[in-house]
A and B are shown apart, each in its own frame.
Chain A
Amino acid sequence: MFEVPSLSDLNVGATLPVTLLALGACVLLVVDLFIPRERKSITAWLTAIGIGVSLVFSLLSLSGAVEFGSGELAFSDMYRADRLTDTINVAALITALLGVMVAYDYLERTRLQRGEYYILLMFSAAGAMLMGAANDLVIVFIALELLSIPLYILSGFRRPQEASEESAMKYFLLGAFASGFLIYGIALIYGATGTTNLPEVWDAVAGVVAEDSAAKFLVMIGAGLVLAGLGFKVAAVPFHMWTPDVYQGAPTPVVAYMSVAAKIGGFAALVRVFGMGLSTFVLESGAPAAWQDTIWLVAVLTMLLGNVVAIVQSDLKRLLAYSTIAHAGYILIAVAAAGTAGLEDTAAQAVVIYLIAYAFTNAGAFAVITAMEKDDASNTSLDALRGLASRCPWLAAAMAVFMLSLTGIPLTAGFVGKWFVFKVALQADLVAAAVVGVLTSAVSAYYYLRVVWMMYFEEGEGDAATPPALAWAIGVAAVGTLVLGALPYLLSDMAREITLAFGG
């Protein structure tokens, strides 16, 4: 006979932010059916309130003011509510909130105003949050799908526009292909270790390596396949091919949301799986984890390709798509650093700091493009930027802030992120990766500053419309970028206590 758990063992309290969000999305799905088509602003408001409530709970939990639930583990050890979970929750929810604000007016003027947009966005935010909380490979997989499936639909939301539908199909086919890799890799890890629970995997992997059996190869291949699957989601080379096409074709507000949310989820899962579960996968004693070399090599390739190809782009959305690839490379350096014993926590902190800084900056940059874009999805080329500063000085200033932050100029959030990433890379002796990172940052300055140059110093017809919600989103993102950059301790204090639990 087995022991029947009781409801209080589930510890639902600890999962409150994500549970509330998912529940809210379910309820809203029904409520939205009774809201007439021309009054969808109600749905948008309800969504914003739902995300806001969840954000408040996450922040309360993060500040330690209120203790939700009893202990870290919930749902039979499937869910871990620790510091990393809280910070990832905050990042994902802020992104979702910006996503709603950016989308509202765009949907209005392109006649796409449907409640499903906001509900899908909520579901996918819940997926990103669950990825950060995963304590089990099953949750990693389900959360990844919960994050991705709404994103597939959202990228095709602008129908019957062909580019949008095509980008949705491409994103879907490649995303599903990637989840095939992920699930096969998880199956092999399960076969080698006999468990899918991450702390137990952590325990078992050390034993597998010690006894030097065939299971070692299962772990190796499994880790590689999981890396490929998650690499697809975060757009790491050589799995980045979908990014420019999908980001160019999908509606711009969707890109503003998904370029950040998919990265938050993907990197949170990478940290959980590699930093926590597989960090004992050390083939020679004293050496870093066996996957470290692979990941930093991927990071170097990603940074090089993203930054170099971005230089020759003439479309702003495509340029930023390559820029998101490049930024995936920077964060991957920190993930690689997690392979050095003793640095797991510092590396996880660097990843979180970078992600939060990136959330404000990148969502803001795409919000500016949303403001520029015409109803027929045109006017997103670099040329459209010419003379923007004279017509829309505030918008141009915000865009300049985002570009400087993406470059990594001091006093912007982007600099803080890069600082922590390169620092942990040096601590982990990944000097080559750090050097490539700094050099490619210098290269990236060329195309980011060219955007600023075109806005301010070239004559042209650059124009944009900023309705209130969008203006607020851009304002919040710009202020966030500047404040986090000027007061870096905000981020580092928030991340300082992030620890990955080991050995159950």
Chain B
Amino acid sequence: MVPLWMYLLVAAGLFSIGMYGVLARRNAIAILMSIELMLNAANINLVAFWRYNQPAQVGGQVFAAFVFVVAAAEVAVGLALIINIYRQRRSVVADDVDLLKW
């Protein structure tokens, strides 16, 4: 079987790509997609840990389901907010978010 650490490595990679995306991208939609990557990295971790450490209990799997349901709710709200801004300004470039990079 593929060892656990490989899954963790993939997840860590995804998480880092997502984090880079949030910090480096200017487009609000792209930032939102990067955040999704981060959440999915956590999901890979949860499911991998569940499969390798506690296959008898469904805790990790159920948690992963909760994560992506909540993520969907978050995306719905986020897209609505972004569309709102777009109607106002005809642009979704989140210039103000560069505050993070100090």
Contact B97 A174 (CB under 8 A): yes
A16 at the interface (CB under 8 A from B): no
Residue of A nearest to B49 (CB): A191
Chain A neighbourhood of B77, CB < 8 A: 149, 152-153, 172
CB distance from A500 to the nearest CB of B (A): 22
CB distance from A242 to the nearest CB of B (A): 8
Contact B46 A174 (CB under 8 A): no
Once bound together, how far apart are the Cα atoms of A186 and B77, in whole Å?
Answer: 23
Contact B74 A149 (CB under 8 A): yes
Once bound together, how far apart are the Cα atoms of A375 and B8, in whole Å?
Answer: 53
A245 at the interface (CB under 8 A from B): yes
Chain B neighbourhood of A186, CB < 8 A: 42, 63
Residue of A nearest to B84 (CB): A165
Contact B45 A188 (CB under 8 A): yes
Contact A196 B96 (CB under 8 A): no
Contact B38 A142 (CB under 8 A): no
Of A138, A152, A177, A194, which is within 8 A of B81 by CB?
A: A152
Q: Mask for B60-89, Cβ within 8 A of A = 1, else 0?
A: 101100110010011001100110110111
Residue of B nearest to A190 (CB): B49
Contact A241 B99 (CB under 8 A): yes
Of B18, B59, B63, which is within 8 A of A180 by CB?
A: B18
Q: Mask for B22-45, Cβ within 8 A of A = 1, else 0?
A: 100000100110010011011101
Chain B neighbourhood of A141, CB < 8 A: 66-67, 70
CB distance from B7 to the nearest CB of A (A): 10
Of A166, A176, A241, which is within 8 A of B78 by CB?
A: A176
Give the interface SS of chain B, mostly helix, strand, loop or mixed: helix
Contact A194 B97 (CB under 8 A): no
Chain B neighbourhood of A194, CB < 8 A: 49, 53-54
CB distance from A170 to the nearest CB of B (A): 6
Contact B28 A173 (CB under 8 A): yes
CB contact list, A143-172 vs B, under 8 A: 145, 149, 152-153, 156, 159-160, 162, 165-166, 168-170, 172
Contact A180 B38 (CB under 8 A): yes
Chain B neighbourhood of A195, CB < 8 A: 59
Q: Assuming A141-B66, A177-B22, A194-B53, is B81 touching A172 (CB within 8 A)?
A: yes
CB distance from B37 to the nearest CB of A (A): 9
A453 at the interface (CB under 8 A from B): no
A411 at the interface (CB under 8 A from B): no
CB distance from A245 to the nearest CB of B (A): 7
CB contact list, B1-15 vs A, under 8 A: 8, 11, 15
CB contact list, A186-243 vs B, under 8 A: 186-188, 190-191, 194-196, 241-242
Chain A neighbourhood of B82, CB < 8 A: 169
Q: Assuming A145-B73, A191-B53, is B100 touching A169 (CB within 8 A)?
A: no
Residue of B nearest to A244 (CB): B99
Q: Assuming A159-B84, A194-B54, A245-B99, is B38 touching A184 (CB within 8 A)?
A: yes
Contact B88 A165 (CB under 8 A): yes
Once bound together, how far apart are the Cα atoms of A374 and B21, in whole Å?
Answer: 39
Residue of A nearest to B18 (CB): A180
Chain B neighbourhood of A20, CB < 8 A: none
A311 at the interface (CB under 8 A from B): no
A183 at the interface (CB under 8 A from B): yes
Q: Assuming A173-B94, A180-B18, A180-B35, is B49 touching A166 (CB within 8 A)?
A: no
Q: Mask for A263-286, Cβ within 8 A of B = 1, else 0?
A: 000000000000000000000000
Q: Assuming A138-B66, A165-B81, A191-B53, is B42 touching A180 (CB within 8 A)?
A: yes
Can you list 7 contacts pairing A with B, beta carbon distance less than 8 Å? A145-B73, A152-B78, A152-B81, A168-B81, A170-B94, A173-B28, A180-B38
Residues of A in contact with B (beta carbons under 8 Å apart): 138, 141-142, 145, 149, 152-153, 156, 159-160, 162, 165-166, 168-170, 172-174, 176-177, 179-181, 183-184, 186-188, 190-191, 194-196, 241-242, 245
Residues of B in contact with A (beta carbons under 8 Å apart): 8, 11, 15, 18-19, 22, 28, 31-32, 35, 38-39, 41-43, 45-46, 48-49, 53-54, 59-60, 62-63, 66-67, 70, 73-74, 77-78, 81-82, 84-85, 87-89, 94, 96-97, 99-100, 102
10 extra interface residue pairs, beta carbon distance < 8 Å, beyond A169-B85, A183-B67? A159-B84, A169-B81, A170-B97, A172-B78, A181-B38, A184-B45, A186-B42, A190-B63, A191-B8, A191-B48
- 10 nearest A-B residue pairs (beta carbon): A180-B38, A191-B49, A187-B45, A183-B42, A184-B42, A187-B42, A176-B35, A241-B99, A187-B46, A145-B70
